[in-house]
Amino acid sequence: MNTIEIEDRLGITFCNRQPIAIERGEGCFVWDEKGNKYLDFTSGWGVTCLGHSHPVITNAIFQQAQKIIQNPNSGFTYSPSRAKLLTSLSTVLPASLSKVYFSNSGAEANDAAIKLARKITAKTKIVSTLASFHGRTFNTLSVSGGKDNTEQYLPLLKDNCFVPFGDMDALAAAVDSDTAAVILEPIQGEGGVRIPRQDYLVSVARYCQERGVLLIVDEIQTGFCRTGKFFAIEHSNQEVKPDIMTMGKGIAGGFPFAAFAISEGVDSRLKKGDHGGTYCGNPLACAVATAVVNFLQTQDIAEKTRVSGDWMLHKLESLQRKYPQLIGSVRAKGLLCAFELGSDDLVAVVTQKCLDNGLLVTPTRNRVIRLIPPLTVDSTELQQGLDILDSSLASVVPSH
Give 10-residue mean pLDDT values along the chain (400 residues). 92 88 97 97 97 98 97 92 98 96 96 96 96 88 72 67 96 97 97 96 98 98 98 96 98 97 97 90 97 98 98 98 96 98 95 98 94 98 98 88
- pLDDT of res. 399: 72
Give the span between the Cα atoms of 231 and 222, in whole angstroms. Answer: 7
At residue 94, the 3 state secondary structure works out as coil
Give the span between the Cα atoms of 324 and 318, in whole angstroms. Answer: 10
**Residue 311 identity:** W
- pLDDT of res. 75: 86
Tens-digit pLDDT profile for residues 63-89: 999 999 999 998 899 999 999 999 999
Give the span between the Cα atoms of 36 and 97, in whole angstroms. Answer: 45
- pLDDT of res. 150: 61
Give the residue from 245, 216, 212, 242 showing the smallest Cα distance to 121: 212
CATH class of 56-298: alpha beta
- pLDDT of res. 365: 84
Q: State the DSSP H helix or E strand holding residue 23, giving kind and residue range, or none if neither.
A: strand 22-26
**Partners of residue 247 on adjacent β-strands:** 259
- Which candidate in 41, 133, 231, 260 is catalytic? 133
- Which candidate in 218, 230, 257, 333 is catalytic? 218
b/e map of 335-345 (b: 16 or more CB within 10 Å)? bbbbbbbeeee
- Which candidate in 249, 304, 333, 353 is catalytic? 249
Domain topology for 3-53+300-399: Aspartate Aminotransferase, domain 1 (3.90.1150)
Catalytic (active site) residue 138: no
Taking CA atoms, 371 is separated from 39, 46, 165, 247, 253, in Å, by 11, 9, 21, 20, 17
- pLDDT of res. 9: 92
> How would you class 311 by CB atoms within 10 Å of its CB: exposed for 0-12, middle for 13-18, buried for 19 or more?
middle
At residue 280, the 3 state secondary structure works out as coil
Tens-digit pLDDT profile for residues 239-263: 999 999 999 999 999 999 999 999 9
- pLDDT of res. 147: 60
- pLDDT of res. 146: 64
Give the span between the Cα atoms of 347 and 359, in whole angstroms. Answer: 14
- pLDDT of res. 143: 87
Catalytic (active site) residue 241: no
Give the span between the Cα atoms of 211 and 65, in whole angstroms. Answer: 47
Q: What are phi and psi of 305, to 5 degrees?
A: -65, -40
Entry pTM:
0.96
Q: State the DSSP H helix or E strand holding residue 388, giving kind and residue range, or none if neither.
A: helix 379-396
- pLDDT of res. 229: 98
For the chain, which residues make up each domain, given as ranges?
Answer: 3-53+300-399, 56-298
b/e map of 142-168 (b: 16 or more CB within 10 Å)? bbbbbeebbeeeeeebeebbbbebbeb
Catalytic (active site) residue 304: no
Give the span between the Cα atoms of 42 and 391, in whole angstroms. Answer: 19
Give the residue from 291, 271, 286 showing the smallest Cα distance to 104: 286
Give the residue from 21, 49, 1, 23 showing the smallest Cα distance to 295: 49
Q: What are phi and psi of 363, to 5 degrees?
A: -70, 140
- pLDDT of res. 164: 97
- pLDDT of res. 88: 98
